[in-house]
Amino acid sequence: MQSTSELAVAFGRRLREVRQRQDLTQEQLADRTGMRPGAVGRLERGGRCPALATTLRLACGLCVPPGTLLDPLARLV
């Protein structure tokens, strides 16, 4: 099993990938989710693991199923 920090980094990479694929800035994603841009940035840098509610908000803001953000993490566990 991977450490929490490794999971946070993997989640952040996936979040950035999905956001950039949609040509969104961190600020635009923050507006869509009601989060602060700094919070989105911290998540993308792997500064923390998101709570389930945050993951759901991000998925909704990106118009993707939550599994899109979480699937790459399954390989790490």
Q: How far apart are CA 9 and CA 15, in angstroms?
A: 10
Q: How far apart are CA 41 and CA 48, in angstroms?
A: 10
Q: How far apart are CA 77 and CA 64, in angstroms?
A: 22
pTM: 0.90
Residue bearing tokens 């600020």: 27
8-50 pLDDT tens trace: 999 999 999 999 999 999 999 999 999 999 999 999 999 999 9
Domains and CATH numbers, the chain: 4-74 (1.10.260.40)
Q: How far apart are CA 72 and CA 77, in angstroms?
A: 10
43-77 pLDDT tens trace: 999 999 999 999 999 999 999 999 999 987 766 65
